[in-house]
């Protein structure tokens, strides 16, 4: 009796987990062969097996997420964070390299914008001092790393040194979509992106920006010329392009031109930028869409180090 019951269990197991088998067909085959078969016991076993099977499926689906949570975000081997003394006027800069990251005169808003690839300062909210206190950061990686890895490392550094906690919120806001014109791009595609791929200046009512960059980076720059409204790259272009962006300025805009190195946000060169995009084989389309916002829940000024 025990041997026969064991044999039935083996056949049921084979029916459930055998390659190319169907559970109903296997149970029907057992009945047709005249084997001893207890419906009550079999149902219990089948139910238990099904529960176990679903457990395996759920565990398998969660495993990648659990592994992702278990993996620590990368960090720098050594890093220095120093507050800039009040009254110091230095040009803000970001200099990533395969061996590390150097940032000068960047407030916490600027640090977060680079770390999380946020286009506009108004997409980040938090305490007042995140705009008024600048910092210098010098950080070294243990080995060669990519820019994307440097961003993750900076996120780790900000959490550790600034005791930073934050969360993301997504809002539907007015924005521009950067699209291809029907005739395609009118920019020269290059194979390599030089380290210094941009220059900016203005003369005789013309703002000129010479760039060698990805179109997605151009989209990230455009809000400064479009009163801060986000621009999303919808061109589908993934190459590196060389082009000159000429934006015509009217008399009022010329009066409001900032000094060299100052921010452009809010100066409203909208009409000239639309024309410039057309000359590049691109176009800007006003629309609405989801945009990520960062909300700082807690932040502290780091100790001098």
What kind and span of H or E run contains 202?
strand 198-203
Judged by DSSP in three states, 298 sits in strand
pLDDT band at 242; cut points 50, 70, 90: confident
Share of the chain above pLDDT 70, in %: 64
Most confident of 121-125, 134-138, 200-204: 134-138
Residue that wins the pLDDT comparison between 70 and 293 = 293
**DSSP code of residue 195:** S
Judged by DSSP in three states, 49 sits in helix
Q: What is the pLDDT of residue 2?
A: 44
Share of the chain above pLDDT 90, in %: 38
- For the chain, the maximum distance between any two Cα atoms, rounded to a whole number of angstroms, is 101
pLDDT band at 188; cut points 50, 70, 90: confident
Q: Are strands 206-214 and 240-248 parallel, antiparallel or unpaired?
A: antiparallel
Please tell me the pTM assigned to this model: 0.56
φ/ψ of 204, rounded to 5, equals 50, 45
Residue 294 has pLDDT above 80, yes or no: yes
Tokens at residue 293, please?
A: 């916002």
Q: What is the mean pLDDT of residues 61-81?
A: 63
What span, in angstroms and rounded, lies between the C-alpha atoms of 75 and 300?
A: 19
Burial of 207 (C-beta count, 10 Å sphere; 0-12/13-18/19+) = buried
């Amino acid at each position: 009796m025990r041997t026969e019951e064991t044999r039935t269990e083996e056949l049921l197991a084979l029916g459930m987990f055998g390659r190319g088998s169907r559970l109903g067909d296997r149970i029907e085959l057992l009945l047709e062969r005249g084997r001893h078969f207890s419906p009550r016991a079999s149902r219990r076993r089948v139910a238990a097996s099904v529960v176990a099977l679903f457990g395996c499926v759920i565990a398998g689906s969660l495993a990648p997420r659990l592994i992702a949570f278990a993996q620590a975000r990368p960090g720098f081997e050594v890093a220095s964070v120093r507050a800039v003394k009040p009254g110091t006027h230095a040009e803000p800069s970001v200099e990533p390299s395969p061996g590390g990251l150097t940032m000068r005169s960047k407030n916490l808003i600027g640090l977060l914008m680079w770390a999380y690839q946020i286009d506009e300062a108004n997409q980040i909210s938090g305490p007042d001092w995140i705009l008024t206190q600048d910092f210098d950061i010098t950080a070294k990686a243990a080995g060669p790393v990519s820019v994307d890895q440097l961003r993750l490392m900076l996120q780790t550094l900000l959490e550790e040194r600034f005791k930073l906690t934050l969360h993301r919120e997504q809002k539907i806001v007015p924005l521009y979509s950067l699209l291809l014109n029907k005739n395609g791009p009118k920019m020269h595609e290059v194979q390599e992106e030089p380290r210094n791929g941009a220059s900016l200046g203005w003369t005789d009512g013309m703002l000129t920006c010479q760039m060698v960059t990805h179109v997605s980076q151009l989209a990230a720059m455009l809000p400064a010329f479009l009163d801060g409204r986000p621009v999303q790259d919808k061109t589908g272009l993934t190459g590196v392009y060389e082009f000159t962006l000429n934006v015509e300025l009217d008399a009022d805009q010329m009066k409001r031109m900032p000094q060299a190195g100052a921010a452009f946000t809010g100066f409203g060169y909208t009409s000239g930028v639309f024309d410039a995009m057309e000359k590049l084989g691109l176009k800007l389309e006003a629309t609405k869409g989801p945009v990520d916002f960062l909300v700082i829940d807690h932040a502290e000024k780091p100790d001098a180090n």
